[in-house]
Structure 1
Amino acid sequence: MEFLMGNPFSTPVGQRIERATSSSLPSEDWELNMEICDIINSSEEGPKDALRAIKKRIVGNKNFKEVMLTLTVLETCMKNCGYRFHILVTTRDFIEGFLVRSIIPRNNPPQILHDRVLGIIQAWADAFRSSPDLTGVVSVYEDLRRKGLEFPANQLEGYTPPEAPKKVDTGLGDLCFIANRSLPICPVPKEQIL
């Protein structure tokens, strides 16, 4: 039914994904990749629109440079976007139907692409194992291991399941919080508190 939704590159995020994954780029455009994350995080349809464009770039694409750039965009989004994006990407349907499918032997992918896809699946399975809504990737990973696929060394850096901000007991009541294990953020200057 996805064909009824039109060109995935016609949306604001889709246009940027198309540019960020163009084989004419000499290398990754990190500014554009972060702009993609901002759009995903700030618009209602951003996660769905982005995933449609990512799928379009991966499926049946014989230009492996574009596929590698698409994987970079996807990884960047997984590291910088939240639950609304994670819930779409970590499904069994996406992992099997798009990522695993991109490395099947009949597509004759280069070894670097094969290893990168397996590394991504492994990293996400490890990172999201304890998040009940995000375990589709875990079941695909375990199936692939049972089938004897060898995975590269773990690379978990940057993948953390979404969690609520944690309060810090500073004696200042509800003025300070820690969000995602960062330093406390105090909206009121210390001079005004004392």
Structure 2
Amino acid sequence: MGDNLMDKVSALGEKLKISGAEVGRKVTEGMSSMSFKVKELLQGQNEVDKIVEEATMETMDGPDWASNLEICDMVNNEKINSQEVIRAIKKRIMLKNPRVQYLALVLLETCVKNCEKAFSEVASERILDEMVKMIDDPQTIVNNRNKALTLIEQWGESTEQLRYLPVFEETYK
């Protein structure tokens, strides 16, 4: 009976060690994520933010295809990081300016169609979440809502693009 109790205590101890390690890992991940966001706030704009901002300025009449394709070339030639581009586009989509949102959606579409690395970044940067928030926001103009819905629908019907990603599957449902 004493051995059985010791086995149970040992098993519980092992569970606690594992749980403790898991909790520690999750806390570390959370702190890392939080420190990244604080760092991002303190640093302000980086080069990629500026490039994306220039391609999506509210003073533009329409998409600047030359700039959009130049951004794609820079991503494809690894002159700029695709993750940073998608993150910068996400920031522009989050703005409440209808012109900027539209131009950011067009740039996003251009990147997804022309940059191989942009596919997975769309999911990892949770840009789909922002698109859904924009669609659900009653303040969003109809053209932008339709553009976001069209992109999500196109990606959902595509067999080659974002459809395989779990985040996308959740959004597309």
**TM-score of the pair, normalised by structure 1:** 0.62
| Secondary structure of residue in 1 paired with 2:126 | helix
1:19 deviates by 0.5
Deviation readout 1:55-114 (Å, 9 max, x if unpaired): 11111x1210000000010000001000x2211103593312x111112235x1111111
Could you tell me which amino acid in structure 1 is paired with residue 132 of structure 2?
A: V
Look up the match of 1:38: 73
More helix by share: 2
Q: Distance in 2 between matches of 1:19 and 1:130?
A: 27
Tell me: higher relative CO, structure 1 or 2? Use CA pairs within 8 A at least 6 residues apart. 2
Which of 89, 109, 117 is matched with 2:122 structurally?
A: 89
2:145 corresponds, among 114, 120, 131, to 114
The count of corresponding residues between Structure 1 and Structure 2 is 136
Partners in 2 of 1:130 and 1:114 — Cα distance?
Answer: 21
Q: For 1:122-161, what aligned pairs fall within 5 Å after superposition?
A: 122-128=153-159, 133-142=164-173
CA contact (8 A) 2:93 2:101 kept: yes
CA pair 128-4 structure 1, distance change in 2 beyond 3 A:
farther
| Ranges in structure 2 where 5+ consecutive residues have no aligned partner | 1-33
State the identity as a percent.
Answer: 29
Whichever residue aligns with residue 100 of structure 2, its letter is E
* Aligned residue number for residue 169 of structure 1: none
Contact 1:90 1:137 in 2 (8 A): yes
The secondary structure found in structure 2 opposite 1:103 is helix
In structure 1, distance between residues paired with 2:162 and 2:99: 32
Q: Which amino acid aligns with 2:75?
A: I
Secondary structure of 2:96's match? coil
Shift of 1:21: 0.4
**Aligned to 2:100, which of 61, 66, 70?**
66
* Counterpart contact for 1:54–1:74, Cα < 8 Å: yes
User: For 1:97-152, what per-residue CA distance to the aligned partner results, in whole angstroms no more than 9, with x for missing partners?
Assistant: x111112235x11111111111111111111478775342122111xxxxxxxxxx
Matched AA of 1:10 = N
Match of 2:89 in 1: 54
What do you get for the CA RMSD once the two structures are aligned? 2.3
Are the equivalent residues in 2 in contact too, given 1:86–1:134 (CA < 8 A)?
Answer: no
Report the AA paired with residue 128 of structure 2.
I
- Structure 1: state its 5+ residue gaps: 143-194
Tell me, what secondary structure is at the counterpart of 1:51? helix
